Amino acid sequence: MGGTVIEPNVAADAKAMELTDGFHLVIDALKLNGIDTIFGLPGIPITDLTRKAQAAGVRVISFRHEQNAGYAASIAGFMTQKPGICLTVSAPGFLNGLTALANATTNCFPMILISGSSEREVVDLQQGDYEEMDQLAIAKPLAKAAFRVLHAEDIGVGVARAIRAAVSGRPGGVYLDLPAKLFPQSIDAEAGRRSLIKVVDPAPRQIPAPEAVKRAVDLLRCAKKPLIILGKGAAYAQADSEIRNLIERTGIPYLPMSMAKGLLPDTHEQTASAARSYVLPEADVVMLIGARLNWLLSHGKGKTWGGKSSKDWGGQKFVQVDISPQEADSNVRIDAPVVGDIGSCVSALLAAMGSTIQKPPAEWLNAIAERKAKNVAKMAETLAKNPSPMNFHSALNVVRDIVKANPDAYLVNEGANALDFTRSIVDMYQPRKRLDVGTWGVMGIGMGFAVAAAAVGKQQVIAIEGDSAFGFSGMEVETICRYDLPVCVVILNNNGVYRGDEKNLTGGRDPAPLVFVKDARYEKLMEAFGGVGAHASTPEALRKAMEEAIRSRRPTLINAIIDETAGTESGRITNLNPSAKKK
């Protein structure tokens, strides 16, 4: 009899005792919001978080350096419109991840850097805790937003705020500080479940004002030489068919910025890429779609745009489609800002144009076609050459064919000459497949981007790397092998930064600052971890090795030997490189 009285109470007690903790709430909050992958590097205080996340079905990709995990997270954000998550330990791990967070904010990639941190009381009194640092304060100026959670009950809100901040409006990097003490905090499991938030509509559509749309359409209607510039914001927006419609229905020639290549295939007849230096100064109305008039577009003025001096406007009128209401007029006057998300803006522009769209005047289109044909023929001639040793052109001619035959593949790209030549030689055929150094021209994104593209994009990755660029993240070939990712790294190896033939001006024993060990065998690095290494000193050998890599889907590193005198200093941005007048 006694047993029947006691039993329900025991059950009730047991139920009341069901607890959860900070570790589980963080994982549950992320999972509830569709986060299925975490890029990171374990250690105090987040070791158990990585382990428990994996046990809970989240894919945890562990890197050898936090910066690479951070770059992986940021590009996953760009590819998916979901915030990429990077998880690090305190102080040094946090700082290692911070470069990637700042780069994400600069590039408008949605990312959340989650770092464990040391004891608040000790940190704030600067009493010398293990890995002591006021991380929140340091992250703030580099992040779009930064939050700290002190109580397990607030984890749901903290994660929700971080997600909204990362993906709404102009996307960016968000910092979430989780002190060590938070993780083992226990609370009632039911209360914990109730505290979590599934974010509703994290990146709400932003519909442009009808008068802004009309202003833009009116301006485009009177254009004689219109031009559209597509930026990586247009790629990010995933409004691919709307953008294609706009381009094809208006017949306006367009230029894709580097990471917008492939939004429409680079072989599209309306692309003006091969006539860039003609269309920028000649155009009278330019519509920017998800592209800023920053240094990559010479700030919208100066010689590139037909201006007489570097501060001089070329006289173009601009339409700018952007989600940030502050972007317009950043460099030159924007006559028709259209503020909203690109999908909504482009749809509204198409609707406002109706069926009365006039194609641009034939003289404009013909003039562009003529320049294009000339430049394409010139390039074909250069690409057909087969010099020995290989140069950038003869190597990239192979890459161009391989990408054409494998349009699903991701193309990761960094370096100086290795970047500039790849961008102009290798055509892209699908949106969001070209992943590169972005707004800062940062070296070091290579292997992090490659891991993310393979793990999240689930396609073959081809990474075209300068030998200097590769060095920044080279150790992650172990990560590539460990997760057995279909990544083919091609190092365009010219023995140094930009080129490899510099001499120490003093004649001393130290090498010149820009050169590396000659004939370095980078392919051995991949072999060290069980991947495939190949040495290619001819286009034929490079082609064979790349074809084999793609056929086998095995981690592969091809050391492609390039003439060490082939590059130019700073690639195509030599003009930005100050050099000493005094010799």
Chain contacts with ligand TZD (rule: CB under 6 A): 415-418, 441-444, 466-469, 492, 494, 497-498, 567, 571
> Quick one: what does residue 442 bind among ligand ADP, ligand TZD, none, with the CB cut-off 5 to 8 Å set by partner type?
ligand TZD
Kindly give the pairing relationship between strand 19-21 and strand 186-188.
antiparallel
Residue (332 or 515) nearer to ligand ADP, CB: 332
> Quick one: what does residue 571 bind among ligand ADP, ligand TZD, none, with the CB cut-off 5 to 8 Å set by partner type?
ligand TZD
Residue (199 or 560) nearer to ligand TZD, CB: 560
**Least distance to ligand TZD, CB of residue 397, Å:** 16
For residue 357, the tally of other CB atoms under 10 A from its CB is 15
Task: Give the per-residue contact string, 250-289, with ligand ADP (x = CB under 6 A; - = no).
Answer: -------x-xx-----------------------------
Kindly give the pairing relationship between strand 186-188 and strand 226-230.
unpaired
| 296 belongs to the binding site for ligand ADP (CB under 6 A) | yes
Tally DSSP H helices, then E strands, for the chain: 22, 19
Confirm if 109 and 174 have CB atoms less than 8 A apart: no
Edge-first strand order for the sheet with 37-40 is 59-62, 37-40, 84-88, 111-117, 173-179, 145-148
**Least distance to ligand TZD, CB of residue 569, Å:** 9
User: CA geometry: angle at 380 spanning 375 and 383, to 5°?
Assistant: 125
Looking at 458-531, list the stretches that DSSP marks H as alpha helix, in order from N- to C-terminal side.
Answer: 467-471, 477-482, 523-528
| 439 belongs to the binding site for ligand ADP (CB under 6 A) | yes
> Quick one: what does residue 365 bind among ligand ADP, ligand TZD, none, with the CB cut-off 5 to 8 Å set by partner type?
none
* Residue nearest ligand ADP by beta-carbon distance: 233
| 225 belongs to the binding site for ligand ADP (CB under 6 A) | no
> Quick one: what does residue 411 bind among ligand ADP, ligand TZD, none, with the CB cut-off 5 to 8 Å set by partner type?
none
> Quick one: what does residue 469 bind among ligand ADP, ligand TZD, none, with the CB cut-off 5 to 8 Å set by partner type?
ligand TZD
* Residue nearest ligand TZD by beta-carbon distance: 466
Tokens of 309: 């001096």
Residue 545, phi then psi, degrees to nearest 5? -65, -40
**Least distance to ligand ADP, CB of residue 379, Å:** 22
> Quick one: what does residue 259 bind among ligand TZD, ligand ADP, none, with the CB cut-off 5 to 8 Å set by partner type?
ligand ADP
Q: Considering Cα of 26, then 28, then 31, then 32, what sign does the dihedral take?
A: negative
Distance CA 155, CA 49 (A): 14
- Residues numbered 466 to 525 that lie near ligand ADP (CB under 6 A) are none
Distance CA 269, CA 499 (A): 35
- Cis bond upstream, residue 389 (ω within 30): yes
Distance CA 340, CA 434 (A): 25
Kindly give the pairing relationship between strand 410-414 and strand 226-230.
unpaired
Sole binder of ligand ADP in the list 99, 294, 304, 424 (CB under 6 A)? 294
What residues make contact with ligand ADP under the rule CB under 6 A?
Answer: 107-108, 170-171, 231-233, 236-237, 257, 259-260, 290-292, 294, 296, 322-324, 327, 341-342, 439
